[in-house]
A and B are shown apart, each in its own frame.
Chain A
Amino acid sequence: QKEVEQDPGPLSVPEGAIVSLNCTYSNSAFQYFMWYRQYSRKGPELLMYTYSSGNKEDGRFTAQVDKSSKYISLFIRDSQPSDSATYLCAMSAYGQNFVFGPGTRLSVLP
């Protein structure tokens, strides 16, 4: 079993839809969680950073962490074509390097 699993997609949604992106993990020591957005041929861009369990909201983006289920989610409301990208989850235990999920390719269709 991989340490971090993520549905690779591709995921296609119409403009304005609510998008749910998810990652599961196996290491119960993980407590730092991040979501990155990566446009084609660009470096990843940090979207959300959360520590431990709970929700965090920033504009159209909401990150959720459920440590009991070892499950994290990123929700995008009112999705836009400009949201079309690959979304990577990343997580780490205290003092350890981050482990990345394989990424989910999202296409938001106008």
Chain B
Amino acid sequence: GAVVSQHPSRVICKSGTSVKIECRSLDFQATTMFWYRQFPKQSLMLMATSNEGSKATYEQGVEKDKFLINHASLTLSTLTVTSAHPEDSSFYICSAEDRGELRNTEAFFGQGTRLTVV
């Protein structure tokens, strides 16, 4: 299957600082990328959907000013957690799809980023 690379895999930051997480599709053009948050032993919670070159669509309850998403190219999306607080500590996962002419193709996931805010 296609490869999605997410970086970093683990980050520890101080409260009040910002953290950027990158998600890259390595062998296909990701017209649509998704950012999820996952709490321990729980399923994926969709935070936002982004299409290349346009603003992200955030799910209800997700603060767009806190979780900045940029999908500047067909192979790269970034999630920036601004002014991080301990409650932002979580596992963040991106996924990418090439929706192109084929809707509902498989979604391929990155390896995830474990964020710990101290």
Contact = CB atoms under 8 A, between A and B. Distances in A.
B104 A95 contact: yes
B112 A34 contact: no
B112 A88 contact: no
Interface residues of B, number: 23
Given A43-B109, A105-B41, 11 more contacts: A32-B104, A42-B111, A43-B110, A46-B107, A46-B109, A88-B44, A90-B107, A94-B103, A94-B104, A97-B34, A100-B43
5 contacts: A32-B104, A34-B107, A44-B109, A88-B44, A105-B41
Interface of B: 1, 4, 6, 34, 41-44, 46, 49, 91, 93, 95, 103-104, 106-112, 114
Interface of A: 32, 34, 36, 41-46, 49, 51, 88, 90, 92, 94-95, 97-98, 100-103, 105
**9 shortest A-B CB distances, which residue pairs?**
A43-B109, A43-B112, A102-B43, A32-B104, A43-B111, A44-B109, A100-B44, A100-B43, A43-B93
